Structure 1
Amino acid sequence: MTESLRWIKSSYSENGGQCIEWAPEHAAATGEFLVRDSKDPHGPALAFPAQQWSHFVEYAKAQAV
């Protein structure tokens, strides 16, 4: 299933760091956020419900300050 999705790489991936990709159309259609390691595109994806993903993003933003 994850093979046919369009994945978007984090804008931070350009620096060679530990980055992720996500499938925005899947999130919009299902409310489930799929996330995977940008260095392993054929590896597993993690699935997060929208509310949990939102909490994670807010936490990550707060830690980056």
Structure 2
Amino acid sequence: MALFDASECGQRLGWLKTPARLLQAAAPLIFGTALSVWGLGALYVTAGIGALATRALQAIKRA
């Protein structure tokens, strides 16, 4: 709120959060499609993405 008026703050936050909300809504569809195409391999891909995210957060914590 230091950069924007109180009336603009909500609108700015809404624009910033929109891509994350869209991907969260599409995640079940994307995972279902991955399961259809790759079968059990989709679980390995998901586990790998989770492991990479964990490592990235650990790297941020150390910095």
Could you tell me the TM-score, scaled by structure 1's length? 0.33
Higher RCO (C-alpha under 8 Å, 6+ residues apart):
1
More helix by share: 2
Could you tell me the TM-score, scaled by structure 2's length? 0.34
